[in-house]
Amino acid sequence: MDLNILERLKLPSEGIRVADRRLLQGNESICEGAIAAGVRFYAGYPITPCTEIAEQMSIRQAAVGGVYLQMEDEVGSIHAVMGASLTGTKSMTATAGPGISLMQDGIGWAQTDEIPALIVNVQRAGPGLGNATRSGQMDIMQARWGPNGDREAIVLSPSTVEESFWLTLKAVNLSERFQTGVITVPEGLVGLMREVVDIPDYDTVPIETRLMPDDEGAADPSRIYDGTMTEIRPFAAVGTEHRSINGNWMRPETDATHGVRMPLTGLSAQDYNIRRLHHKITKRRDEVTFVEEVYTDDAEVLLIAFGTQARTARFAVDQLREKGVKAGLLRLITLFPFPEEIVQRAAANANLVIVPEMNMGQIRGEVTRVLRQHPAEIVGVNHVDSTYIEPDEIMELVPVAARHLEGAAV
Amino acid sequence: MTTIEASPAAAPARKRSAPKPMEETIEFYGNVPNENEGKHFRYCPGCGLGIAQSAIMRAFERLELDPKEIVTVGGSGCYAVMGSYYQASQAHMGHGRAAAMGTAIKLCRPDLTVVTLQGDGDALAIGAQHFVHAARRNIDITVIVFNNFVYGETGGQHGPTTPRETITQTSPYGMVENDFDVVDIALGSGAGYAARTTVYHAQHMVRAIEGAIQHKGFSVVEILQNCHELWGKRNGMPTAPDMLKWYKDNSITAARAAKLEPEDILGKFIIGTWTGPERPELGEEWRKLVDRVQGGEVEAAKRGSGKPPALA
């Protein structure tokens, strides 16, 4: 078991027992991570390249006593996931390409009405139908800004099959802790490749469950919308002692008019709630920010990458270091909320920042935004033909390495 | 408005306990808005939703359901606030998705009574796919369709049940499209129970809803409801009494319709209850499967190990 993965994801590793070592496909690994986290409801509509998640879930959910429900479309899938979550059941869906576009409606509801849910987007290349069997990194800004309205979103990106297991588990934990729809964006390449994974005993992994009204420390429901409550509310499941309206905890029937204002009635409640939806995440940035840093302490050439393309970038960094270039890699595991301070710190000594990604520069835009007062040159390596970025393409951008490459070619 | 040939069912069995005064029912099931606290019903004066709401409440009361064991699932439309007027828990999300959400709620909590509150557009336009597939799966939920022939909340545009040639905000020359028959679609999609009633037939409405909730499997109640403000006024029935009278004069029971010639029932609302063939209920089937898998009786099939299906 790679303890570095757990450390990076801020998962406590003590007590975790390894039960098995298996060659797993990325999509299978995502399934198992979710089941280990306690997901007992899966609804989805099969779509390449995440079909194996549906197939595997149809086997596994019956075995663990959960529910597998193949819906008529993605809009139904995400709403079924929220319906299940309203009963307190941890639930998820997986999709890709046009499927994630169809789900935006429901993702917006999950994030706005604070319904814990995991949404996995195994990215194919887009736009439109795109290229179903090829990988892409084109749904990054959509993951943050897809649904209408304004709310904060948690978006995570794994780069290996083993990391997919723990990252999925962590995503479920975060969806429960923050009561929101958490999105993970493994690429098709991660979903379809096979790597060795140490499978833990699921009874020993660290899992989290949402705060409920009867839990210690749960606030009085009358404080939910009066502005005095902490940003994370107690979640009222349907079919309990507490009346639930979309997971909001309403007073029992003794108070016929409730005294609690319904969510989003009146402009001040709207203002309060939208700010709360942001602050409940941004004020706990440390809890949701995960990165991997390689030689960033003294990096004069900083690579910022994510997903599978960070693996290529890592290779390039090692090659550059061999040639005496002070190169470093900042791998973003959390894409949103964008790790602004970490990017600024890692780029402190950099005079060149390279952002390789399989899109036209979606993360480069974020990097440019947070380094707007930094003198470093920021360049991208952008593939949109579904081919993977080669280390040489990155190294060509570094003057010393480029001279070396030219020499080698001669 | 016609209905496919399905045998009208006998009136559902119901409890014969003496009805409680409405005040008691309201106290237990209702969350009646209070003017003094700045809340009031958001329906237009005379809106049929009030009659429908009280009928649903009475059905809960007759079935002696605990509000804690009821979940209403709503969509978008004038009726969308109705769920918050009950003491029951409420789920209210995307427009048209109530059947999808209700399916999941029922699968996770089979002990709960799940009732979706949907409009004609919600159930049969934007949410038609979830409606027909929930019926096909025969999940044990009750879908109540408030059919007022028009999109009320957005100001009176035509919808999937708007009768031909009538005037709406988006059919200013008269509606040229054909309309859906809610009961036909429900039965054709596999619902085991479908009823049609009108706001004029308030007592029948209570029985229809009661029967639907009692039915084990997917059930639909179509409530023909008056929207005199946005549809009636444009079509010669400007007041609530005008529309109630229209429903009274143009409705015949399914039992009576069965004895009449087709031309005699043309253009009439056939009210009553229909039952479809009994089909397995999704939740029960899934739980049986889980038991068999967990008991080691059945394993996930290997490729090619299936058999041709027994065709009905």
Q: What is the pLDDT of residues A85-100, one digit of tens each?
A: 999 999 999 999 999 9
The predicted-structure confidence for A46-65, as pLDDT tens digits, reads as follows 999 999 999 999 999 999 99
pLDDT of residue B87: 87
Residues of B within 8 A of A105 (CB-CB) are 94
pLDDT band at A252 (very low <50, low <70, confident <90, very high): very low
pLDDT band at B20 (very low <50, low <70, confident <90, very high): confident
CB contact under 8 A, A71 and B133: yes
Q: How far is A175 from chain B (nearest CA, A)?
A: 18
Q: Tokens 């003094």, residue?
A: B36
Burial label for A323, CB within 10 Å (0-12, 13-18, 19+), is middle
When pLDDT is averaged across residues A146-154 and rounded to a whole number, the result is 94
- The tokens describing A344, both together, are 């600024």
Residue B180 has pLDDT above 80, yes or no: yes
Q: What is the 3-state secondary structure (H, E, C) of chain B?
A: CCCCCCCECCCCCCCCCCCCCHHHHHHHHECCCCHHHCCCCCCCCCCCHHHHHHHHHHHHHHCCCCHHHEEEEECCCHHHHHHHHECCEEEECCCCCHHHHHHHHHHHCCCCEEEEEEEHHHHHHHCHHHHHHHHHHCCCCEEEEEECCEECCCCCEECCCCCCCCCECCECCCCCCCCCCHHHHHHHHCCCEEEEEECCCHHHHHHHHHHHHHCCCCEEEEEECCCHHHHHHHHCCCCHHHHHHHHHHHEEEHHHHHCCCHHHHCCCEEEEEEECCCCCCHHHHHHHHHHHHHCCCCCCCCCCCCCCCCCC
Q: How far is A116 from chain B (nearest CA, A)?
A: 14
Closest residue of chain A to B108, computed from CA coordinates: A84
Which range marks the domain in which residue A181 is found? 3-204
The predicted-structure confidence for B45-97, as pLDDT tens digits, reads as follows 999 999 999 999 999 999 999 999 999 999 899 998 888 888 899 998 889 99
Q: Is residue A211 part of a domain?
A: no
B91 Cβ under 8 Å from any chain A Cβ? yes
Mean pLDDT of chain B: 91
A70 Cβ under 8 Å from any chain B Cβ? no
When pLDDT is averaged across residues A175-203 and rounded to a whole number, the result is 97
Are both A181 and A304 inside the same structural domain?
Answer: no
Residues of B within 8 A of A91 (CB-CB) are 104
When pLDDT is averaged across residues A328-343 and rounded to a whole number, the result is 98
- The yes/no answer to whether this complex scores an ipTM above 0.90 is yes
Are both A249 and A353 inside the same structural domain?
Answer: no
Q: How far is B24 from chain A (nearest CA, A)?
A: 13
B87, B100, B133: residue with CB nearest A79:
B100
Length of chain B counted residue by residue: 312
B58 Cβ under 8 Å from any chain A Cβ? no
pLDDT of residue A300: 96
Are both A195 and A258 inside the same structural domain?
Answer: no
- The tokens describing B282, both together, are 């999704």
pLDDT band at B2 (very low <50, low <70, confident <90, very high): very low
pLDDT of residue B256: 94
Rg of chain A over CA atoms, in angstroms?
22
B90 Cβ under 8 Å from any chain A Cβ? yes
Give me the amino acid identity at A78. I
Count of alpha carbons within 13 angstroms of residue A374, beta-carbon side: 23
Helix, strand or coil for residue A157? coil
Q: Is residue A391 part of a domain?
A: yes
Are both A226 and A127 inside the same structural domain?
Answer: no
Question: Residue A117: enclosing H or E segment and its boundaries?
Answer: strand A117-121
Please state which of the ranges A7-11, A61-65, B24-28, B230-234 shows the lowest mean pLDDT.
B24-28
Q: Which of A172-176, A234-238, A261-265 has the highest mean pLDDT?
A: A172-176
Is-contact A138 A127, C-beta < 8 A?
yes
- CATH number at A311 reads 3.40.50.920
Residues of B within 8 A of A102 (CB-CB) are none
Closest residue by Cα to residue B148 from B194, B172, B182: B182
Q: How far is B66 from chain A (nearest CA, A)?
A: 10
Q: Is residue A132 part of a domain?
A: yes
Q: Is residue A163 part of a domain?
A: yes
Are both A278 and A295 inside the same structural domain?
Answer: no
Residue B5 has pLDDT above 80, yes or no: no
Closest residue of chain B to A75, computed from CA coordinates: B97
* More reliable by pLDDT, B252 or A244: B252
Residues of A within 8 A of B103 (CB-CB) are 69, 80, 83
Residue A67 has pLDDT above 90, yes or no: yes
Give CA separation, A227 vs A230, A237, A261, A262, A371, in Å: 8, 22, 11, 13, 35
Are both A92 and A149 inside the same structural domain?
Answer: yes
Domain boundary among A285, A313, A335: A285
pLDDT band at B115 (very low <50, low <70, confident <90, very high): very high
How many other C-beta atoms can be found within 10 angstroms of the C-beta atom of residue B255?
Answer: 14
CB contact under 8 A, B67 and A253: yes
Are both A30 and A79 inside the same structural domain?
Answer: yes
pLDDT of residue A104: 97
Are both A9 and A112 inside the same structural domain?
Answer: yes
Question: What's the fold here for domain B43-294?
Answer: Rossmann fold (3.40.50)
Are both A281 and A296 inside the same structural domain?
Answer: no
Are both A302 and A392 inside the same structural domain?
Answer: yes
Residue B79 dihedral angles phi and psi, to the nearest 5°: -75, -10
Share of chain B above pLDDT 90, in %: 76
CA distance A87 to A238: 5
pLDDT of residue A46: 97
pLDDT band at B1 (very low <50, low <70, confident <90, very high): very low
pLDDT of residue A315: 97
Residue A280 has pLDDT above 60, yes or no: yes
Residues of B within 8 A of A39 (CB-CB) are none
Residue B119 has pLDDT above 70, yes or no: yes
When pLDDT is averaged across residues A360-376 and rounded to a whole number, the result is 97
Restricting to B residues 94-123, those with a Cβ less than 8 Å away from any Cβ of A are: 94, 97, 100-105, 107-109, 111-112
pLDDT band at B18 (very low <50, low <70, confident <90, very high): low
pLDDT of residue B80: 87
Residue A43 has pLDDT above 90, yes or no: yes
pLDDT band at B128 (very low <50, low <70, confident <90, very high): very high
Domain boundary among A204, A234, A265: A204
CB contact under 8 A, A65 and B39: no
CB contact set of A120 (below 8 Å; sequence gap of 6+): A30, A50, A53, A92, A93, A94, A95, A168, A183, A184, A186
CB contact set of B191 (below 8 Å; sequence gap of 6+): B135, B138, B217, B218, B219, B220, B276
Are both A275 and A303 inside the same structural domain?
Answer: no
Please give the tally of structural domains in chain A. Answer: 3
